[in-house]
Chains A and B, each alone.
Chain A
Amino acid sequence: MRIELEKRPERSVLMAWASPVIAVMATVVTGGLIFAAIGKPPLQALWIFFLEPFSSLWSIEELVVKATPLILIGVGLSVAYRANVWNIGAEGQFTMGALMGGIVPVFFTSWQSPLALTAMLVLGILGGMLWASIPAFLKIRTGANEILVSLMLVYVAQLLLDWLVRGPWRDPKGYNFPKTVNFEDWQAMPIFGGGRLNLGIVLALVAAVALAVLMRRTMKGFEVRVLGEAPRAGRFAGFSSDRMTLFVFLLSGGLAGLAGIVEVASTVGQLQPNISPGYGFTAIIVAFLGRLDPIGVVVAALMLAVSYLGGEAAQVALGISDKAARVFQGVLLFWVLACDTLILYRLRIVRSAPAAEGV
Chain B
Amino acid sequence: MSGADRARYDQLAASLVQHIDERGRLAVVKAPPGSGKTYLLLQLAEHAVARSQRVAIGAQTNAQADDICRRLSARPGVSVARFASAQALPVDLGPNVRWVVAPGDLPPGPAVSVGTVSKWGLVDIVEPFDVLFIDEAWQMAWADFMLCGQVSERFVLIGDPGQIPPVVPIEVQRWETAPRAPHRAAPDLILEDRNLSGLEANMDICRRLPVDAVALVQPFYDFPFHPLAEPGERYVRVNGSNGVHAEFDPALDLLGEQSVSAVTVPTDPEGPPFEVDPGVAALTAKIVHRLLDRGADVADGEDVRPLEPEHIGVSATHRVMNAAIDRELGGLRRTVRVETPERWQGLERKVMVVVHPLSGNAAPSGFDLTTGRLCVMASRHRSGLVVVSRDHVRRTLDGYIPAAEQPVGHPDIVGRGHFDHMMFWEQLAADRRLIELSA
Bind each other: no
* B interface list, Cβ under 8 A from A: none
